[in-house]
Structure 1
Amino acid sequence: MDAHLRELRYFVATAEESTVTAAAARLFVSQPALSKQLRALERRLGFDLFVRLSRGLALTDQGSALLPVVRAMLETWDRGYVEARALTHPRQLIVGMQTAVGRDLQRPAVQRFRTRAPGWTVSLRLVGWDDPTAGLADATSDVAFVWLPIPADDVATRVLVRENRWIALPAEHRLADCTEIPYAELRDEPFIALPAAAGPLRDFWLALDVRSGRPPAIVAEATAADEVLELVSAGVGIALIAEGNARLYKRPGVTFRPVPDLPPAELAIAWRRTDPREIVHLFVDSVGG
């Protein structure tokens, strides 16, 4: 009996989360799609992996027996894939990022890395918000600058910068002349959101934790910072943004104002816990913060 790697990853994530809802958020897939894939895997296996309970899922005896085997197999595959891909681009480190990094972090990090690892090159790769791991999840990036929270247990992070959240408004917005804007003034405004695949990161940039259960009015989605600000400039909606990015992405037609009553955003360096290569940790150690 053959099983696809994707199905096995779905099985492990669901076993670890114990609910389809939590596993789907972690995997960036819809709940119906995840349930369908799990049932298809069970049909091919010829036995159930889970017992469906009112409070969630529990592993069957067969699922409990299979789980450690699948975990070990996936870890072996991931290590092998990283090593094989490294042979395609020897002595090249790919650094993923979701927005411009700036903040005097990226440039000195690359310089220190090149001094410590002569002969290695660094390739910077911009990844859309639909992958909040910035390429770490599918190993298309070796390390990444990411905004937290990141919904992946196999990714390690180190916070580099904490910044206040600001709001990006059309220049003619009714609140544009305010020095700062409490979030309560923004609750009923139309928001531009990250894609649903961003999971908890989307929720963070909508400030769902301070909305008291009131859903935001989402008028558009964007996969990159430039898209967000183009929509703001066009008057489509507003968007929360990190204070440092408000400086990096200044443009006509957009006003940035601090939102003082929100917890800060965290920019981090991230890497896969299962990646054994010393060169990855050398780059991580080269990053200040």
Structure 2
Amino acid sequence: MRYFEALATELNYRRAAEVLFITQPALSGAIQSLERTLGTRLFDRDTKSVALTDSGREWLPHVRRALHEVDAALEAAAMLVDHGTVRLGYLIGTGADVMFELLDGADRVFPDIRIETVEYDFSDPTAGLASGASDIALLRPPVDVPDAKMAIVAEESWVACLPKSHPLATRSELRIEELLDEPIIVAPKSAGGWREYWYAADVRGGKPPMIAAEAATYEAEVTLVSRGVGLSFTTSSLARLYDRPGIQFVPITDRPISYTAVAWRPSRLTMSASRLVEHMLSRLPSAKKS
């Protein structure tokens, strides 16, 4: 229903996916599933435009009222269980550079709040946010949490992680199409659309990647790459944090910016978590909220 409301507002799959911080294929699949469940088309769409059908227009105000009531109920429940503990999940590889800056001074400002930090691997790229295990998450969009709000805290470029023996490892830069037929190390299937984003499904034209292996951590990923099992796509900061013998990082010039974001679900924030979010955002005066 949140996906439907976002697409009904934007009437553009790319913009709606950006608002939701999910991939376009994930949004399209969800809308198709919703239409099958309801037994009616909600949108008329072709290669150039998206428009609500009569059914979609009539259903939209009901959906918005329902979502408002759900959010209000979740907010009330969150306030009832505020025990002064805030659970901060962070995706492996995202916490090293920014988490300490975001939390700087928090213990002094909020002596009544206990902050629990938990690291998550690639099997849950939402860092516990989707399941509710985390109140706040430090992650790399896109993730399938449609009601999440986010503030961008870092921007990075894509790099290819290659075995040093690979013929392309001596290049100063690469284009994504040069790498699409190579065996690739990917995240576990549980990562869903995030996994597809990181093997560049959007430029493969529906052709599946040649998956060489799965890895849930960067250590496992770079070990597999160094052994020559396959290559991987990652971000520029990881070239510094996870540089190991036997691998070479080469910039990819034609991929979109990769973001690191602080994310939370407003309807599920306790008062303590809400105060911590405000503190974290105050540490980033240029943060872009979505």
Identity of aligned residues (%): 30
2:281 paired residue number: 285
| Alpha-carbon distance in 2 for matches of 1:203, 1:221 | 13
CA contact (8 A) 2:181 2:210 kept: no
Offset from partner CA, 1:222-261 (integer Å, 9 cap, x none): 4443443343234221111112122222344433333355
C-alpha contact (below 8 Å) 1:191/1:216 kept by paired residues = no
Aligned equivalents of 1:179, 1:282: Cα separation in 2: 44
Q: Please tell me whether residue 240 in structure 1 is matched to residue 236 in structure 2.
A: no
Deviation at 1:189, TM superposition (A): 1.7
**Conserved 8 A contact 1:187-1:216:** no
1:154 equivalent in structure 2:
147
Which stretch shifts more, 63-72 or 22-31?
22-31
Q: Please, which runs of 5 or more residues in structure 2 have no aligned partner? A: none
Contact 1:191 / 1:217 at 8 angstroms: preserved in 2? yes
2-side partners of 1:30 and 1:79: how far apart? 28
* Secondary structure, counterpart of 2:66 in structure 1: helix
Equivalent pair of 1:232/1:238 in contact (CA under 8 Å)? yes
Counterpart Cα distance in 1 of 2:259 and 2:31: 30
Displacement of 1:69 in angstroms is: 3.0
Aligned to 1:75: 68
> Which amino acid in structure 1 is aligned with residue 151 of structure 2?
R
Of residues 160, 170, 187, the one that matches 1:167 is: 160
Pick from 165, 173, 181 the counterpart of residue 173 of structure 2.
181
| Shift in CA distance, 163/281, structure 1 to aligned 2, threshold 3 Å | same
Higher relative contact order (CA 8 A, sep 6+): 2
Alignment partner, residue 4 of structure 1: none
Output the TM-score relative to the length of structure 1: 0.70
Q: Is the 8 A contact 2:44 2:53 kept in 1?
A: no
Counterpart CA distance in 2 for 1:218 and 1:118 is 51
Structure 1 gap segments, 5+ residues each: 1-7, 43-47
**Root-mean-square deviation (CA), in Å?**
4.1
Aligned 8 A contact 1:103 1:244 in 2? no
Paired residues of 2:106 and 2:276 also in contact (CA < 8 A) = no
TM-score (norm 2): 0.70
**Is residue 2:41 matched to residue 1:50?**
yes
Give the CA deviation at 1:266.
Answer: 2.1
Q: 1:217 to 1:144 in 2, by over 3 A?
A: same
Q: Which moved more, 1:109-118 or 1:85-94?
A: 85-94
Q: Is the 8 A contact 1:175 1:181 kept in 2?
A: no
